[in-house]
Amino acid sequence: MTSERDIDSAAGEDLITEPLEDVIDPEGFTPRLIALLSNALVWRESTELRRRFGLGTNDWRVISAVALRPGISATEISDFIGVNKAVVSKSVSTLVARRLIVLLDGPRGSRPMCLTRDGARMHDLMLPVSMRGQEIILEGMSESDVRKLNTLLTDMLQKLRDAQLLDEALDNEASPAHKPEPSPAAH
């Protein structure tokens, strides 16, 4: 943290040294609280997965997605778990090297993946670590409250997706250089 002496020595620099009046209340700003909760869950899970299995949360997410949807591609996993394609690619490389998943034939990014038997065993070993995080945060909540919470979170995610699509549409309208050419069928 910056000391008062550091601030005083830079006083001639037109610095703001007092908190602004119109700021976010950190204890009442929902996106911050959700991010803190998510970060804490990911840190806890990743630490335990690395300690026990030498794999991290992103590796677990890929294994879990392939367990849920055998034949899924890296691009589909990226969309499904909401992470960058490069992150998925790195995990896929790790998991292929460890012989936990196999890439089937197809173009890069769209190659179907399946778990190996060792991958299925790894999934079963990793699953309780992930489920423990859910148990911790939902402890003491009724089934009805959990359903309501999940509905609220799902609705929030959909609102963000809808807002992103709207923002992208508005950006495309404002920038004619980015408009796609009409397809021949449109003529």
* Tens of pLDDT, residues 154-183: 999 999 989 989 998 888 888 766 555 554
Predicted structure pTM score:
0.77
Of 165, 134, 136, whose CA–CA distance to 150 is shortest? Answer: 134
Which SS3 state, helix, strand or coil, does residue 108 take? coil
Cα 30 from Cα 106, distance rounded (Å): 42
Residues 96 and 103 sit within 8 Å (Cβ to Cβ): yes
Strands (E), 70-111: 101-103
pLDDT digits (tens, 9 = 90+) for 28-53: 999 999 999 999 999 999 999 999 99
Task: Pick the more confident residue, 135 or 180.
Answer: 135
Per-residue model confidence as pLDDT tens digits over 50-78: 999 999 999 999 999 999 999 999 999 99
Q: What is the predicted pLDDT for the residue at 106?
A: 81
The backbone torsions φ and ψ at residue 114, rounded to the nearest 5 degrees and listed phi first, read -135, 150
- Beta strand spans in 112-158 (E): 113-115
Separation of alpha carbons 97 and 91, rounded Å: 10
Q: Mean of the pLDDT values across residues 5-13?
A: 62
Output the DSSP codes for 13-80. G----S--SS---TTT-HHHHHHHHHHHHHHHHHHHHHHHHS--HHHHHHHHHHHHSTT--HHHHHHH
Kindly give, in sequence order, each residue whose CB lies less than 8 Å from that of residue 72, ignoring residues fewer than 6 positions away. Answer: 65, 66, 80, 112, 113
> Could you count the other beta carbons within 10 Å of the beta carbon of residue 54?
10
Token pair listed for 34: 């959700």
